[in-house]
Amino acid sequence: MSEVAAADVAAWKARMPRAFGPTAAGRRRRWLGAVAFVVWLAALLWWFDFSPLRLWNGLSGLLVILRQMVPPSPGEHWDMILWGLCESVAMAFLGSTIAVLVAFPLGFLGANNVVVNALAHFSIRRWFDLFRGMDQLIWALAFVRAVGLGPLAGVLAIAAAEIAVLAKLFAEAIENADSRQTEAITAVGGRRILAIRFGLLPQVFPVMLAQYLYQIESNTRSASILGVVGAGGIGLQIAERIKVRYWDEVLFIILLILVMVAVIDTISAMVRRRIIGA
Amino acid sequence: MDGVWGDAPAGRGQRPRLAVTVASAELAFRARSLARRRATFGYGSVVLVLLAVSAVVSEVYPRSLIDGLPRVGEYFYKLLPTLQADALFAGTKTKGSFAYWMYRLDAWAWLLFETSQIAALATLMGAGLAGLACFPAAANLAPNRAVYLVCRRTLELFRTVPDIVYALILVWAFGVGPMAGIFAIALHTVGALGKLFAEVVENADMRPWEGVRAAGGNWVQAVRFAIVPQVAPNFLSYVLLRFEINVRGATVIGFVGAGGIGQELYVVISRNYYEEIGAIILLIVLVVAAIDLVSERLRNAVVGRE
């Protein structure tokens, strides 16, 4: 009986080797993969100098900093901190608005149902991709050099960095719009611009509005750090206090940023519910 | 209700009624569009006032714009290399060639590689911690509500502080160099990925879980054998997405001294080496785009295999 079963098992094993666990080749591949991973990890840790001593020193240094952070304190210049927060929110709002206004026509340019030429469509889209690769802080640093320190550089950086992102999203929204509504306008004799206004725009407008609100939220977060490179806002305050190691004030500012982000998120959610109903 | 148009031909007496109906409908329509226009006008003026206030707060006056924008154009124009068509492919010594423009390509390429490895290691660390923290932070697996709330709030805390702020602090603790940058990006990644992971876990099918628990498996075993196989592809896809984001982050983390190409970029920008700025930015954009492309392919493959 058991011999029959053993023969059965052998027969099934021959027919479906994968059902009995990984094959020899598969096991070898996994093993090689694991070894390669460990070697890569070890090489990186060695390259970046992750010695136990350095880790220990760093962690104890961090502990000292954390201990000096509590209790958080507003310090003497709390008025400047509050002004920095206002500046950050203003920069985010203005930058997002400029980005949306510029990205709006660009989105139509990048949509393949508006600009039908494949080569033009492809090259416009690649331009969007190219500009998306640049982080907001790089823009901020460049604008600080161009227009000087201050929130103006921050506004321009937010706008410049988000234009390409928004243009791509808008273009995708326009491409996903239902073409029958524009066809209907054309069929009753509407010109192309009218077809876009009454056939396309009503479909994509809610998407654009949602994106606008989301941009305000996300840019409030990023506007809080642009000051690190001198582009205005609360980031400048935090960077200055870190330089002179006023850790209790640093924690206070971080907590204020958390509150600010939460407040902006709540307002944005309210507006979204009110206008889009979602 | 027969519909307004349906009973129109029934008799002469009906016609005035139809006209009245149409007229009242027209009136209602006008009233509604007037109300809508008023609402649009109201909201629009609120937005405009807010914009004006923001412009004042952030010092965006017409005057500063008129002064500033030409300088922006001038600055970005200076970043463009002076290439000469006849010498494009000449050696590093000839002005106007690609090689002259990218004369430090070897150093920059190495720094870009370092940047990508900073991002990779940070993503790995962050994903590892997030992968541990996400199970108690999922509402369907958390042993009790207190554990769930504590884990969720902690992840949120990690997520809300931007990685550059972590970097500023950690540079003090760990010294200037890639280590501070790696930990900074990893800390932010824990929060960002932990939330996404927890949401994936919450959407997992609970029947395998019940099966393992019924067969006597403990919590850890149930997570390992019932949940992990279900969520692994989505986890991997999110990790790759985060890696793309972290590569972008790692390019600027050097601005505060935390390693990578950002440190070099910061130096050339503050010294106004215009053509080098242009070259480095171009290289960053190309590398970021290439990594995005590969990662996107991998992501599609991972989720498609599910």
Q: Are A250 and A238 in contact (CB under 8 A)?
A: yes
Tell me whether residue A62 is in a domain: no
CA-closest candidate to residue B251, choices B293, B288, B276, B294? B288
Q: Are B262 and B252 in contact (CB under 8 A)?
A: yes
Over range B26-46, report the average pLDDT: 89
What is the length of chain A?
278
Same domain flag for A127 and A227: yes
What is the predicted pLDDT for the residue at A277?
A: 65
Partner residue facing B75 (CB), from A145, A152, A232:
A145
Q: Which residues of A are less than 8 Å from B252 in CB distance? A: 135, 137-138
Q: Which residues of A are less than 8 Å from B239 in CB distance? A: none
Same domain flag for A226 and A97: yes
Q: Which residues of A are less than 8 Å from B289 in CB distance? A: 129-130, 133
Q: Are B252 and B263 in contact (CB under 8 A)?
A: no
Q: Rounded to an integer, what distance in angstroms lies between the CA atom of residue B5 and that of residue B22? A: 10
Q: How many Å is the Cα radius of gyration of chain B?
A: 30
What is the predicted pLDDT for the residue at A34?
A: 95
Task: Check if B196 contacts A (Cβ < 8 Å).
Answer: no
Q: What pLDDT digit, counting tens, does each position of A14-69 carry?
A: 888 777 777 888 889 999 999 999 999 999 999 998 889 999 999 999 999 999 99
Q: Which residues of B are less than 8 Å from A61 in CB distance? A: 172-174
Tell me whether residue A10 is in a domain: yes
CA-closest candidate to residue A131, choices B268, B288, B295? B288
Tell me which DSSP letter residue A72 carries.
Answer: P
Q: Are B122 and B186 in contact (CB under 8 A)?
A: yes
B179 with A143: Cβ contact below 8 A: no
Over range B268-272, report the average pLDDT: 90
Q: What angle do CA A26, A29, A35 make, to 5 degrees?
A: 145
Q: Kindly state the tokens that stand for A139.
A: 């823009």
Partner residue facing B173 (CB), from A62, A143, A225:
A62
What is the average pLDDT value for chain B, to the nearest integer?
87
Same domain flag for A158 and A251: yes
Q: Kindly state the tokens that stand for A169.
A: 């999203």
The string of DSSP codes covering A38-59 is HHHHHHHHHHTT--HHHHHHHH
Does residue A3 surpass a pLDDT of 70? no
Partner residue facing A135 (CB), from B160, B165, B252:
B252
Q: Which residues contact A16 (CB under 8 A, 6 or more apart)?
A: none
Q: Rounded to an integer, what distance in angstroms lies between the CA atom of residue A212 and that of residue A107? A: 13
Does residue A216 surpass a pLDDT of 50? yes
Is the pTM higher than 0.90? The answer reads: no
CA–CA min distance B40, chain A (Å): 11
Q: Rounded to an integer, what distance in angstroms lies between the CA atom of residue A42 and that of residue B204? A: 34
Does residue B302 surpass a pLDDT of 70? yes
What is the average pLDDT value for chain A, to the nearest integer?
88
What is the predicted pLDDT for the residue at A155?
A: 94
Does residue B3 surpass a pLDDT of 50? no
Q: What pLDDT digit, counting tens, does each position of A118-146 carry?
A: 888 888 888 888 888 788 999 999 899 88
- Residue spans per domain, chain B: 8-57, 104-305
Same domain flag for A43 and A90: no
Listed range (A24-28, A110-114, A267-271, B8-12) with the worst mean pLDDT: B8-12
What is the predicted pLDDT for the residue at B36?
A: 87
Partner residue facing A254 (CB), from B161, B164, B292:
B161
Which fold would CATH assign to domain B104-305? MetI-like fold (1.10.3720)
Please state whether A49 falls in left (phi above 0), alpha (psi between -120 and 50) or beta: left
Q: What pLDDT digit, counting tens, does each position of B60-69 carry?
A: 888 888 888 8
Same domain flag for A210 and A100: yes
Q: Rounded to an integer, what distance in angstroms lies between the CA atom of residue A250 and that of residue A61? A: 16
Q: Which residues of A are less than 8 Å from B121 in CB distance? A: 41, 44, 48
Q: Rounded to an integer, what distance in angstroms lies between the CA atom of residue A223 and that of residue A97? A: 14
Does residue B208 surpass a pLDDT of 90? yes
Does residue B90 surpass a pLDDT of 80? no
Tell me whether residue A253 is in a domain: yes
Does residue B242 surpass a pLDDT of 50? yes
Over range B162-167, report the average pLDDT: 91
Q: Which residues of B are less than 8 Å from A42 in CB distance? A: none
Does residue A4 surpass a pLDDT of 50? yes
> Which structural domain range is residue A256 located in?
78-275
Same domain flag for A28 and A156: no
Over range B108-118, report the average pLDDT: 94
Tell me whether residue A130 is in a domain: yes
Same domain flag for A100 and A13: no
User: With a CB-CB cutoff of 8 Å, which residues 72-131 of chain B face chain A?
Assistant: 72, 74-76, 79, 117-118, 120-121, 124
B269 with A141: Cβ contact below 8 A: yes
What's the CATH number where A146 sits?
Answer: 1.10.3720.10
Q: What pLDDT digit, counting tens, does each position of A72-107 carry?
A: 888 888 899 999 999 999 999 999 999 999 999 998
Same domain flag for A221 and A185: yes
Tell me whether residue A119 is in a domain: yes
Choice between A24 and B188, residue whose per-residue pLDDT is larger = B188
User: A interface mutation test: which of B49, B58, B60 has the most A CBs within 10 A?
Assistant: B58
Same domain flag for A117 and A204: yes
User: What is the 3 state secondary structure string of chain B?
Assistant: CCCCCCCHHHCCCHHHHHHHHHHHHHHHHHHHHHHHHHHHHHHHHHHHHHHHHHHHHCCCCHHHHHHHHHHHHHHHHHHCCCCCHHHCCCCCCCCCCHHHHCCCHHHHHHHHHHHHHHHHHHHHHHHHHHHHHCCCCCCCCCCCHHHHHHHHHHHHHHHHCCHHHHHHHHHHHHCCCHHHHHHHHHHHHHHHHHHHHHHHHHCCCCHHHHHHHHCCCCHHHHHHHHHHHHHHHHHHHHHHHHHHHHHHHHHHHHHHCCCCHHHHHHHHHHCCCHHHHHHHHHHHHHHHHHHHHHHHHHHHHHHHHC
Same domain flag for A142 and A241: yes
Does residue B4 surpass a pLDDT of 60? no
For chain A, the domain total comes to 2
Partner residue facing B285 (CB), from A58, A130, A228:
A130
Q: Which residues of B are less than 8 Å from A141 in CB distance? A: 255, 265-266, 269
Does residue B279 surpass a pLDDT of 70? yes
Tell me whether residue A205 is in a domain: yes
Same domain flag for A155 and A230: yes
What is the predicted pLDDT for the residue at B245?
A: 92
